[in-house]
Amino acid sequence: MQMSAITEPTARQVACAQEQRRGLMAACLAHALHDGYTDGLYAFLPIWQSQFGLSYAGLAIVRALYFGTMGGLQVPADHLLSGISPRNTLVLSTLIAAGGLAVMAIPMGFAELCCGLVLAGIGSSIQHPRASQLITECYGNTARRPLSIYNFSGDLGKATLPALIALLLPVFAWRPVAGILALLGLALSLVLIRLTPRHIAPAMVTSPHRQSRGGSTGFAWLLAIGAFDTATRMGYLLFLPFLIHGCGGSSATVGIALALLFAGGALGKATCGWLGDHLGIVGSVAATETTTSLLIIATLFTPLSGTLMLLPLLGIVLNGTSSVLYGTVPELAPDGNTGRAFAVFYTGVIGTGGLAPIAYGALADHVGRTTGQLATAATALLIVPMGCDWDRP
């Protein structure tokens, strides 16, 4: 009897730990693919500009079809699918995103490109809040570290898929490359069906909602800083392919540049987490954003080889701030509702990421690309006084 009492809870703990790992792995794989889709689009921008005769602002609007849909539907998607299991929502999100890439691969003109971007954005809007909620349900009050791993996994996708796209573009036209990405999404959907736990064990569910430490004011400041940080990052990414081409780089070099930037961003998740532990949230935000601004300006005045050397360093600080902010969402979630907090946070930062490049693009169309890129550096500097005024509890 005594041995049975000892063995039974141990078996339950092992089963729970296995489900936790499976849930985390499923969320990370989905995040890597969806973020790879998202930032892989940058490798297509010069081709679309040439094929469809788009201005910088027009190119940003086309890109915003994906980002705007993905950002604007975060809260509705989280609400509508809250009664569906995380397993089914992850599979559904990946199938829809892959379907969007498949539509883009059909040679029917500019309209189907736009429709495909919207459909892919719908799929990615489902993934973010539901995958974050899956991890929170699996790990309960110990979800902070798994959430940082989930956040890091997105950068792995950002580092690999754009490089893969850049390697394929010199061999295939862009539509077949989009078709290959769609097949990759279909394959992952099949993996997620087997990998994701069907049900979360009761012992793994998050404990009752705790009172948020920051309240609505703290979360509002967090969201505002996240929005400006995303505007800086997405604005710079809009101009990066053209900066590389202007330095004499090819389409393959653009892919390498994106991979270097995102590889640095992946490293930045760990580096800035350490920085946050030593300098605090406000100090780390001030340090990363100031360095971001200086490095953005530096890439304007260096040759191609120098720019490629700076991009990993820029990636560390350009993406590192988001890791600090993202890991703070559960702590500052209003009323302790982490699922809704993640959905609102993603809506704000992704929506800003979709709209800000339109403004930067319009500025570049009127006064030049260099001025547009300097505007992204100025945006990073604006975050520093915002962080200093943020009275985090």
Encode pLDDT of 216-229 as tens digits: 677 888 888 888 88
pTM: 0.70
* pLDDT at residue number 212: 45
* pLDDT at residue number 206: 43
- What's the average model confidence in pLDDT over 238-243? 87
Q: Does pLDDT of 255 surpass 70?
A: yes
- Tokens (6 digits) for 363: 């500025």
How far apart are the C-alpha atoms of 164 and 201, rounded to whole Å?
Answer: 38
For residue 337, the SS3 value is coil
Q: Does pLDDT of 40 surpass 60?
A: yes
How far apart are the C-alpha atoms of 198 and 23, rounded to whole Å?
Answer: 10
How far apart are the C-alpha atoms of 116 and 69, rounded to whole Å?
Answer: 11
Query: What domains are defined for the chain?
Result: 2-389 (1.20.1250.20)
- What's the average model confidence in pLDDT over 345-359? 80
- Tokens (6 digits) for 357: 């490049």
Q: Which residue has the higher pLDDT, 31 or 252?
A: 31
- Tokens (6 digits) for 251: 């389409």
How far apart are the C-alpha atoms of 2 and 201, rounded to whole Å?
Answer: 24
Gyration radius of the chain over CA positions: 21
* pLDDT at residue number 4: 47
Q: Which residue has the higher pLDDT, 359 or 79?
A: 359
How far apart are the C-alpha atoms of 190 and 202, rounded to whole Å?
Answer: 26
Q: Does pLDDT of 186 surpass 90?
A: yes
Q: Does pLDDT of 192 surpass 80?
A: yes
Torsions phi, psi for 106 (to 5 deg): -75, 125
> Which tens digits make up the pLDDT trace of 57-84?
788 788 888 877 887 787 787 778 777 7
> Which tens digits make up the pLDDT trace of 264-318?
887 877 666 666 667 777 777 888 889 999 999 999 889 998 999 999 999 888 8
* pLDDT at residue number 5: 47
How many beta carbons lie within 10 A of that of residue 215, not counting itself? 14
Please report where in the chains the tokens 């800003």 appear, as a residue: 352
How many beta carbons lie within 10 A of that of residue 11, not counting itself? 9
How far apart are the C-alpha atoms of 64 and 52, rounded to whole Å?
Answer: 16
- What's the average model confidence in pLDDT over 100-126? 89
**Looking at residue 211, what DSSP letter applies?**
P
The distance of Cα 188 from the centroid of its chain, to the nearest Å, equals: 18
How far apart are the C-alpha atoms of 393 and 92, rounded to whole Å?
Answer: 38
